[in-house]
Structure 1
């Protein structure tokens, strides 16, 4: 990775020449895509041929979904790609293990590559194909920024529970967590500095909790006898992350891509989302996920500049940790005495 330090993302996208894609057709349809999208560039590279050469040495059978990835190591952004491919899978009724994925980008290897392999069939990289390749059937994936998950104003997003079941099943997780107010499971996600991709060699990330130990202690004391866990999720494999979250009643964390796991909480679960003072208020991706899945939601945004510290750390007062946890517990278990009043 060090050889790619500070490489611009724009250098990792292909500029397709005419005839990069060739189809058996007489005439191409009119320009089908509105707005500025990579699909427009792909379409400009398509040419019609009377008969594709059947002697092409490289031939890939089955259905291949072509994907151009953006922010390829960001869990939220990649989740939109996963969901888009899932929608195509549902629409065309394709078994996931038979779906070929073709990356039409030049991104280096990333931590989420393993998840692509776990969810679908074979993975191909266009940049590593030295010879002409004939695909029996190809579908261009929806651009990630046009994914329904990106539109927080939607009242409904289809197949989310089915997407959850599919994602867990492909990772061999089939649990059916039942709410037990006498033994709640709370998972607190820590955001800590780490190097995720070559464009951030310093590894410094935003929206971290300064007083992690104090925060954890206050929640643990409030919910004595319940199961409280705190962890940096990106240190675990995706399978372990999913196993943990699928058994979690209450997920707690600063706004960030890790909260994409809201999609995999049990159907009764809830999310407590925390924001620093400098965060833009219009980003409501995870709140929207809770609405679509009919989960519970509580949030807090720091309004006191004295709680903001260097290195993008925010001090969360213990009174806030306790009050927000109480709010969520009362949503999940309104008829139960879960903690000492």
Structure 2
């Protein structure tokens, strides 16, 4: 009897399990079909489902220093800080207006012609242009393929990497009623709104000049890119300072055109890969090289990013941009044309792109002490024409670092952690982490100091400047971010800070604000407002 009951129980359990599995499969299949139907009903009907591609776009992060990017709804004063660093692109120029079917969401993908407009900044004398239903024909862009490993293209000339745009390299869909073809803009338009300025080869001007409007029957594509895409041309792509100007231009272009998510990128140049691409990929949604497309590719929405030479970061080297950094909260309450929070916003964008918290500076100083980052210059192979050697800005750099390290180790009360900033041996993410964690950033004049755009608001910048390199790159960035900055001016390329000490005394610097670092031969290093300054001079002399 017990055996029979046991058998019946097993049969019942088996039937229950079988029924449960059947129900699970039933609801799963119907749920997936329902979701598929729902998804398909929301997705626009493609013109050609075989060539249309959808890609994930990264959302914009929440940034403490973010302020709204107005367009024509708010006047921006000429040569104000917002005109330089924010949205001074308020002159709207419609070159090809969309027809009704193009802007009607119900039939957005069903027909209609393309559109093209530019946003011009009188302050920067530059334009951000954007267009819809625009086609790129890679075979009409003469340049190297790009994206190769550096070792594969050693010796390649720079002229081979910069693009030459033939007529029709880019085309706009003129719609069903348009016959023939025509140039989108005239030379007069380019001279007024995309001037060459001091740029010897203005590739973005040449690109816009190559755009033709063609009829719908001639507008065929091997691939459609549905998400907003930035088209970028780089020049000094292996140099951090110039690359930061490109990053900033791309970021501003994305904000000015009101993109809802971070755009995708297409490099319109034939440069090889560099470590700096890590940040490009972190900042934006994806990255491709123009010559890596197999045939004509069409963009539903393309944005043309101005050259890095046209940003305030570069123009400030020759123009007087009298702006000072301030907090976004203060500017929101009390707007000031002579102050800006845009560089702080941009620095937070870089940190957030790598997944670092951007609210850390509100938590106060770390109890473990202070990180003092010494940014080093190292030999490395930068580009195909580079010999692998960097020009020395401080000939006894290692000696200075060793002395600082020795001093910090014998003055533990100062709680200083000296960080060896060997950036050539660090990933971009590691470099940004070192910058954001630093209380003090020291370094000889060089591109690596451009990272201070991502420094915390309380960071102190000490730049060692030799007599051969007295350019204001990093003093200006510190000023525009509102960072405390001090220059250590040398007579040559050897650190002789004894003169700095004399100068400090003449400037009535308080003795306890100086830290003396002695090494052979005897040298004195001026570190104004060093974190250890809070400790008495007697304890840290």
The TM-score range, normalised by the shorter chain, is 0.7 to 0.9
SS in 1 for 2:488: strand
Question: What is aligned with 1:155?
Answer: 322
Task: Report the count of equivalent residues.
Answer: 327
Question: What is aligned with 2:56?
Answer: none
Residue among 199, 202, 205 paired with 1:40: 205
Question: What is aligned with 1:4?
Answer: 153
- 120-129 vs 52-61, greater mean Cα deviation: 52-61
| Residue 171 of structure 2 corresponds to residue 22 of structure 1 | yes
Per-residue CA distance 1:174-199 (angstroms, 9 max, x = gap)? 05143469923211011121112111
1:219 shift after superposition: 6.1
Could you tell me whether the CA contact under 8 Å between 1:22 and 1:46 is conserved in 2?
yes
Mapping of residues 52-201 of structure 1, within 5 Å: 55-97=220-262, 99-152=263-316, 153-156=320-323, 159-174=342-357, 176-177=360-361, 178-179=364-365, 183-201=369-387
SS in 1 for 2:164: coil
Question: What is aligned with 2:536?
Answer: 337
- Over 3 Å counting, the alpha-carbon distance change for 1:326 and 1:125 in structure 2 is closer
Question: What is aligned with 1:327?
Answer: 528
Give the root-mean-square deviation of aligned CA atoms.
2.6
Question: What is aligned with 2:422?
Answer: 232
Question: What is aligned with 1:307?
Answer: none
1:109 shift after superposition: 1.3
Structure-2 separation of matches of 1:215 and 1:196: 24
1:292 shift after superposition: 0.7
Q: Which has the higher contact order (CA 8 A, sep 6+)?
A: 1
Question: What is aligned with 1:245?
Answer: 435
Residue among 421, 427, 445 paired with 1:255: 445
Residue among 376, 387, 392 paired with 1:206: 392
Q: TM-score, normalised by structure 1?
A: 0.86
- Over 3 Å counting, the alpha-carbon distance change for 1:250 and 1:13 in structure 2 is same
Structure 2: gaps spanning 5 or more residues: 1-149, 175-181, 324-339, 501-515, 518-523
Question: What is aligned with 2:54?
Answer: none
Per-residue CA distance 1:227-262 (angstroms, 9 max, x = gap)? 212221121111111111101011000111110111
- Larger Rg, first or second structure (1 or 2): 2
1:59 shift after superposition: 0.7
Residue among 465, 469, 472 paired with 1:275: 465
SS in 2 for 1:327: coil
| Residue 487 of structure 2 corresponds to residue 315 of structure 1 | no
1:90 shift after superposition: 1.9
- Over 3 Å counting, the alpha-carbon distance change for 1:210 and 1:333 in structure 2 is closer
Structure-1 separation of matches of 2:400 and 2:298: 59
Could you tell me whether the CA contact under 8 Å between 2:232 and 2:267 is conserved in 1?
yes
- Over 3 Å counting, the alpha-carbon distance change for 1:211 and 1:262 in structure 2 is closer
SS in 2 for 1:167: helix
- 55-64 vs 241-250, greater mean Cα deviation: 55-64
1:207 shift after superposition: 1.7
1:40 shift after superposition: 2.0
Per-residue CA distance 1:5-52 (angstroms, 9 max, x = gap)? 332212201211100011134773432311252222112211112337
Structure 1: gaps spanning 5 or more residues: 305-313
Structure-2 separation of matches of 1:66 and 1:276: 38
Could you tell me whether the CA contact under 8 Å between 1:297 and 1:328 is conserved in 2?
no
- Over 3 Å counting, the alpha-carbon distance change for 1:111 and 1:95 in structure 2 is farther
Question: What is aligned with 1:311?
Answer: none
